[in-house]
C-alpha cells in the first residue's frame, strides 16, 4: 500500500524488522519483555541507518536497488539475532548470510512486486539468524569488502563503529528521525501534494476552483525516473506519480486512501487535468529527502498564475506528525482487521512498551480479529 515510514538516507526501516520480531517473539518459549523487543527493534533500525551512511549514493533517492531489499534484510537479520541472543561472531555470520539474500531491482517499483521486496527482506533476515543459530556460517567480513556488501553501491566506504566502551556510540535514530506518511504513496508525493493544495487555496482565496478553468499545471520536482508517471493506469503507478498526486489533490482538495482506487484513477476530469501537466526538474531540486521541494504553478484560462511551494510537508522529520494523528492513522487502518478493544489495547501497550513485563499482552490484542473484516 506504500504507507510505511521512510528514513533518510532512504529506506522503509520498520517494515523489514517488525514482522520478524513479532513472529519470533510469538514463537519463543520465553516471551521477551517489552524492553527486549524494543531494543531488538532499534538494533534492526540502527543497522540499516549505519549501512546507508557508508555510501554517498545512498543519500539520494535510489536509482538501482530498492533499499529495503538491501539494508532491510540486514536489519531483519540483526534484530532477529539480537532477540535470539546470538553471540557477536554469530551476529556477523547472520549478516553475512542475509547479504546473500539482498538486492531487488528498482524497476519493480510501481508494480505489485515492490511490496514483496520488503516481505522477502523480513523473511530472509529472520531465516538467516535462525540458520546461523543452527550452525550455518558465511563470510563474517562481508561488510568490509567491495565484493561483499559493497556490491550494492558504487561508492561503498565502510568505517569502523565507535567502541561503546569509550562512550563514543550514539544512535543514528537519535540524530535522524523517520518520516510518517499521511498519503499512501511514495514519500516524494507528499511535497507535491501539499504544494498543489496550497496553490488551490490561493485560487479559492479569490474565486471558486473549477478544474476546467485550469489551462496549464507546472510541477517543479527533483529528477527521478520511477516517480515520473504522466498517465498512471494502476494504483501502484498512481502511488509513484508526481502528476497523479498533484492533480488528485487539486481536484478533490485532499488525498486519502480512496484517492488511489480504480474508480478515482479512471475519472475523466482527472485525466483531463493530467493532460495539462508539464513537469520540470530544476537544477536546485535535489533527489534527496532532506533537500528536495515540490512546487506547483497553476495557470488559468484568463492568464492568471497561482504558485505554491512546499519545502517540508507535515509528517516529515522536520515537522513530525502529532501523536494523535499518528494514532489516528494506525486506528483507521487496524480497525479494518481488529476489534476496537484490540486496536486500543495495542496503542496502550506500545505507548508503554518499555515497562511491559512480557509482550504476551501484545499478542492477545493482535489476535482480536474483527469478524466483519473485508
Ligand atoms: C526473495 O528472496 C530470494 C532469496 O534471496 C530471491 O532469490 C528472490 O529474488 C527474492 N524475491 C523477491 C520478489 O524479492
Ligand atoms: C481529508 O481526508 C481526511 C481523511 O479522510 C479527512 O480526515 C480530512 O478531514 C480531509 N480534509 C479535507 C480538507 O477535506
Ligand atoms: C473509490 O473511492 C470513492 C471515493 O471515496 C468511492 O466513492 C468509491 O466507491 C470507491 N471505489 C472503489 C472501487 O472502491
Ligand atoms: C489497511 O492496510 C491494508 C494493508 O496495507 C490495506 O490493504 C487496507 O486497504 C488498509 N485500510 C485502510 C482503511 O487504510
CA of 264 to the centre of ligand 3 (A): 7
Q: Which of 275, 310, 345 is the last residue of a domain?
A: 310
- Asked whether residue 321 is assigned to any structural domain, the reply reads no
* Judgement on whether residues 219 and 169 belong to the same structural domain of the protein: no
CA of 11 to the centre of ligand 1 (A): 18
Q: Is the CB of 254 under 6 A from ligand 2?
A: yes
* Judgement on whether residues 154 and 28 belong to the same structural domain of the protein: yes
* Judgement on whether residues 148 and 171 belong to the same structural domain of the protein: yes
Distance separating alpha carbons of residues 235 and 299, to the nearest angstrom: 28
* Nearest residue by C-alpha to atom 14 in ligand 4: 333
* Nearest residue by C-alpha to atom 13 in ligand 4: 333
- Asked whether residue 324 is assigned to any structural domain, the reply reads no
Q: Is the pTM for the entire model greater than 0.85?
A: yes
Question: Given the CA of residue 262, which atom of ligand 3 is nearest to it?
Answer: 13
- Asked whether residue 75 is assigned to any structural domain, the reply reads yes
Distance separating alpha carbons of residues 191 and 189, to the nearest angstrom: 6
- Asked whether residue 322 is assigned to any structural domain, the reply reads no
Total domains in the chain come to 3
CA 241 to chain centre: 16
Distance separating alpha carbons of residues 20 and 6, to the nearest angstrom: 18
**Grid coordinates representing 187?**
514519500
* Judgement on whether residues 205 and 301 belong to the same structural domain of the protein: yes
- Asked whether residue 193 is assigned to any structural domain, the reply reads yes
* Nearest residue by C-alpha to atom 7 in ligand 2: 256
CA of 3 to the centre of ligand 4 (A): 9
Question: Given the CA of residue 256, which atom of ligand 3 is nearest to it?
Answer: 5
Question: Given the CA of residue 334, which atom of ligand 4 is nearest to it?
Answer: 1
pLDDT for 373 equals: 55
* Judgement on whether residues 280 and 152 belong to the same structural domain of the protein: no
Distance separating alpha carbons of residues 191 and 148, to the nearest angstrom: 36
Which ligand does the CA of 253 lie closest to? 2
Q: Are strands 305-310 and 294-300 parallel, antiparallel or unpaired?
A: antiparallel
pLDDT for 274 equals: 98
* Judgement on whether residues 203 and 274 belong to the same structural domain of the protein: yes
CB 21 within 8 A of CB 41: yes
Closest CA to 83 of 42, 46, 135, 112: 42
pLDDT for 374 equals: 52
* Judgement on whether residues 173 and 206 belong to the same structural domain of the protein: no
Which ligand does the CA of 265 lie closest to? 3
What CATH number is given to the structural domain containing 257? 3.30.1330.120
Residue pLDDT tens, the chain, 374 long: 899 999 999 999 999 999 999 999 999 999 999 999 999 999 999 999 999 999 999 999 999 999 999 999 999 999 999 999 999 999 999 999 999 999 999 999 999 999 999 999 999 999 999 999 999 999 999 999 999 999 999 999 999 887 777 777 788 888 888 999 999 999 999 999 999 999 999 999 999 999 999 999 999 999 998 999 999 999 999 999 999 999 999 999 999 999 999 999 999 999 999 999 999 999 999 999 999 999 999 999 999 999 999 999 999 999 999 999 999 999 999 999 999 999 999 999 999 999 999 889 999 999 999 887 55
What CATH number is given to the structural domain containing 140? 1.10.4100.10
Q: Is the CB of 263 under 6 A from ligand 3?
A: yes
- Asked whether residue 277 is assigned to any structural domain, the reply reads yes
* Judgement on whether residues 11 and 157 belong to the same structural domain of the protein: yes
* Judgement on whether residues 29 and 145 belong to the same structural domain of the protein: yes
CA of 210 to the centre of ligand 4 (A): 31
Q: Is the CB of 261 under 6 A from ligand 3?
A: yes
pLDDT digit string (tens) for 114-161? 999 999 999 999 999 999 999 999 999 999 999 999 999 999 999 988
Distance separating alpha carbons of residues 315 and 325, to the nearest angstrom: 9
Which ligand does the CA of 101 lie closest to? 1
Tell me the residue range of the domain where 296 lies: 188-310
Amino acid at each position: 500500500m506504500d504507507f510505511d515510514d521512510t528514513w533518510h538516507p532512504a529506506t522503509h526501516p520498520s517494515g523489514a524488522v517488525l514482522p520478524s520480531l513479532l513472529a519470533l517473539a510469538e514463537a519463543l518459549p520465553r516471551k521477551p519483555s517489552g524492553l527486549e523487543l524494543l531494543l531488538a527493534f532499534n538494533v534492526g533500525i540502527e543497522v540499516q541507518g549505519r549501512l546507508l551512511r557508508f555510501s554517498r549514493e545512498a543519500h539520494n533517492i535510489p536509482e538501482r536497488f530498492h533499499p529495503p531489499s538491501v539494508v532491510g534484510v540486514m536489519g531483519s537479520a540483526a534484530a532477529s539475532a539480537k532477540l535470539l541472543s546470538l553471540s557477536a561472531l554469530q551476529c556477523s555470520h547472520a549478516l553475512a548470510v542475509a547479504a546473500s539474500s539482498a538486492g531487488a531491482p528498482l524497476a519493480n517499483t510501481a508494480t505489485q512486486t515492490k511490496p514483496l521486496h520488503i516481505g522477502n527482506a523480513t523473511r530472509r533476515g529472520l531465516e538467516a539468524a535462525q540458520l546461523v543459530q543452527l550452525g550455518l556460517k558465511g563470510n563474517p567480513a562481508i561488510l568490509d569488502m567491495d565484493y561483499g556488501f559493497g556490491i550494492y553501491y558504487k561508492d561503498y566506504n565502510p568505517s569502523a563503529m565507535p567502541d561503546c566502551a569509550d562512550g563514543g556510540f550514539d544512535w543514528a535514530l537519535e540524530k535522524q528521525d523517520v518520516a510518517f506518511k499521511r498519503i499512501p504513496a511514495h514519500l516524494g508525493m507528499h511535497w507535491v501534494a501539499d504544494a498543489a493544495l496550497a496553490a488551490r487555496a490561493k485560487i479559492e482565496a479569490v474565486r471558486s476552483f473549477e478544474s476546467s478553468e485550469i489551462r496549464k499545471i507546472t510541477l517543479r520536482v527533483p529528477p527521478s525516473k520511477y516517480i515520473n508517471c504522466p498517465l498512471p493506469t494502476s494504483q501502484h503507478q498512481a502511488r509513484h506519480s508526481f502528476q497523479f498526486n498533484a492533480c488528485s489533490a487539486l481536484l478533490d482538495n485532499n488525498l486519502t486512501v480512496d484517492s488511489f482506487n480504480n474508480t478515482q484513477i479512471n475519472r475523466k476530469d482527472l485525466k483531463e487535468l493530467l493532460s495539462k501537466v508539464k513537469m520540470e526538474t530544476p537544477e536546485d531540486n535535489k533527489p534527496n529527502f532532506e533537500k528536495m521541494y515540490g512546487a506547483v504553478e497553476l495557470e488559468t484560462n484568463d492568464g492568471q498564475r497561482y504558485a505554491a511551494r512546499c519545502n517540508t510537508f507535515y509528517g516529515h522529520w522536520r515537522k513530525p506528525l502529532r501523536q494523535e494523528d499518528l494514532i489516528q492513522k494506525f486506528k483507521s487502518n487496524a480497525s479494518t482487521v481488529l476489534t476496537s478493544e484490540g486496536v486500543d489495547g495495542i496503542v496502550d501497550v506500545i505507548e508503554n512498551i518499555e515497562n511491559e513485563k512480557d509482550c504476551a499482552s501484545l499478542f492477545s490484542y493482535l489476535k482480536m480479529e474483527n469478524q466483519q473484516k473485508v
